[in-house]
Structure 1
Amino acid sequence: METAPAPLAALVQMTSGTDPAVNLATIDRALAEAAAKGATMAFLPEMSLLLDRDRPRSAMHIVREADSAWLPALRQMAQRHGLWLHSGSMPLLSDDGARRVNRSHVIAADGSVRARYDKIHMFDVTLPSGEKWTESAAYASGAALEVVQTPLGRLGLSICFDLRFPELYRALVDRGADLIAVPAAFTVSTGEAHWHILLRARAIETACHVVAAAQSGTHADGRATYGHSLAIDPWGTVLAEATAGNADGDRGYDLILAPIAADAAARARQAIPLARSRAVRSIEI
């Protein structure tokens, strides 16, 4: 008896800018291509709807989720293209309007919202390159983990800088995750140093598929991002990788496809049974 092919994840690599309407049009084109190529679920990068480090300028677009046109637009796209969709993330105001949140959504092919996740770890760093980022100056940290059932498996949610905190991913596995999303807008310097290493490490140590759709190239706000969107299997093998830039001209995106085998996590966990072997010991110094 022939085995059915594994469902396909589509990773959309973007160079999102400061105009949400342009970004939405790019996403719509990418989802149409993903659907035509047989994808079951599409994954967008962090800040797919708006990437703008000019906080006063971006403020005109950033409202509470209930008042935002972005999520309804993505829900309509998912339904129209017949795809499950991970939004990557978008900037919204918290419900009390006091601060911003960096929020992911998982949307089913019928347009219903199945999960939300607010980024927990804020990107507050001063890099050797001289770049300084203080995400916490405008954004509030999330406080809840999220795992949601999808056609590709039980999906654990995270965003970009979360990648550096392995305890978050262990907690997602403890909640049943066998697939992890890491939408990102990595800087070039940190991407060159750490992107591939950290993503493969998270896949290996959790025995999960990792799907990381990324921003790439030079953006309208002047920043540059690393690209190299990756899909990795639970053994740490790279299944698909995008190039460093969006090479498809005026489409404004690159698209890669990766098969997500349903039994891959179980096989990796059987081969190296970390859960059974893990020991917590009290060590006196």
Structure 2
Amino acid sequence: MASTFKVAVIQLHPKPFQIEQNFNKAAGFVKAAAAQGAKLAVLPEYHLTNWIPKDEKFLPLCDQWETYLKKYQALAKEFGICIVPGTIVERHRDAVKEEDKLLNVAYFIDHRGEILGKYVKKNLWGPEREHLTSSGRDVHDVFDTPLGRVGMLVCWDLAFPEAFRELISQGAKIIIIPCFWTLYDCSPAGLARNPSSESLFLDSTLTSRAFENTCAIIFANAGGPPGKGYAGVSQVTVPYVGPIARLGSAAEGMCVVDLDMSIVEDAEQNYRIREDLARHDWHYDYRHSAKEKL
């Protein structure tokens, strides 16, 4: 497994309800990433539908989740590239409660079109709780990929250091985070103090998480027209360096960057986070179950 490979972070503006148009635009970016030699392309949260759950046109789109998941599998196989297609909102029937539920799901699709991993968003942002069902107390899974051990989180999950620790304790070296985070997620009081508060939150937290967990973070956020509140700042972030690639504006775009995983190994030798987690007398409550994968 090569220690350096190209990854693509794709920042998109999801047009409300234009699911086929949004897919075609995303597919165009993925094809361009593959042409530049990228081994992985990561898209934002809600990139197919945007997030307008109270509109009557939203729920029928969530019934098409399997159609678009299969389209991404075919795309990955055709161009020989791994894809994390942001998140796809899925409507399922809850047999116990006899009612529908919505899940916000991220998938890792390998270059053969096979699904290697799946994650249902756990930590829901306030307005999402009325509509989405969290993965609750399900374990944060880590899985093997052509790029190494990978874990996935979604958007507001990144505010919880516990989520990272659970993934790192299972051997994750790369954390992938699709996101739909806007400047207007800040309160009026916060915006009055700093209109760019949420960008500061994202940049600071992503760099901190990379350092404190000796991992690489691939973060793909939604973008959009100026003045509409989109935060952007999609990036690939590693210890020592911080962002090695960052989309500085909220506009749509893509960056393809060489991710050198030896940086992660060097940082672990220095900070020894995983070594501490592996100790039999580790003094915090969470534990790992596979020392040999750390």
* 2:231 corresponds to which of 211, 226, 230: 226
Residue 110 (structure 1) aligns with: 112
d(CA) in 2 for partners of 1:235 and 1:178? 15
Question: 5+ residue gaps in structure 2?
Answer: 187-197, 286-294
Residue 255 (structure 2) aligns with: 256
Of 142-151 and 170-179, the range deviating more from structure 2:
142-151
Deviations 1:188-217 (A, max 9, x none): 144234010111111111100000011012
Q: CA, structure 1 residues 33+273, in 2 after alignment: closer, same or farther (shift >3 Å)? A: same
d(CA) in 1 for partners of 2:256 and 2:83? 14
d(CA) in 2 for partners of 1:152 and 1:63? 31
Residue 224 (structure 2) aligns with: 217
Within 5 Å, give how 1:56-135 maps onto structure 2.
Answer: 56-63=56-63, 65=65, 68-96=66-94, 98-124=100-126, 134-135=127-128
Deviations 1:199-247 (A, max 9, x none): 111111110000001101249xx9632101010113352110013232x
Scaled by the length of structure 2, the TM-score of the pair is 0.82
Residue type of the partner of 1:41? L
Give the secondary-structure state (helix, strand or coil) at the position aligned to 2:108: strand
1:258 CA drift (Å):
2.0
1:154 CA drift (Å):
1.1
Structure 1 stretches of at least 4 aligned residues deviating more than 3 Å after TM superposition: 275-279
Residue type of the partner of 2:219? A
When the two structures are aligned, how many residues end up with a matched partner? 260
Deviations 1:147-178 (A, max 9, x none): 12222221111000001000110010011100
d(CA) in 2 for partners of 1:47 and 1:136? 15
d(CA) in 1 for partners of 2:164 and 2:272? 16
8 Å CA contact 1:204, 1:235 repeated in 2:
yes
Residue type of the partner of 1:136? R
Within 5 Å, give how 1:163-174 maps onto structure 2.
Answer: 163-174=158-169
2:206 aligned with 1:208:
no
Of 269-278 and 234-243, the range deviating more from structure 2:
269-278
1:281 CA drift (Å):
7.0
d(CA) in 2 for partners of 1:281 and 1:24? 43
d(CA) in 2 for partners of 1:95 and 1:208? 37
Q: CA, structure 1 residues 171+60, in 2 after alignment: closer, same or farther (shift >3 Å)? A: same
Q: CA, structure 1 residues 281+26, in 2 after alignment: closer, same or farther (shift >3 Å)? A: closer
Give the secondary-structure state (helix, strand or coil) at the position aligned to 2:100: coil
Residue type of the partner of 1:12? I
Scaled by the length of structure 1, the TM-score of the pair is 0.85
8 Å CA contact 1:117, 1:144 repeated in 2:
no
Residue 183 (structure 2) aligns with: 188
2:248 aligned with 1:243:
yes
d(CA) in 1 for partners of 2:69 and 2:276? 42
Residue type of the partner of 2:28? R
8 Å CA contact 1:203, 1:236 repeated in 2:
no
Question: 5+ residue gaps in structure 1?
Answer: 125-133, 247-252
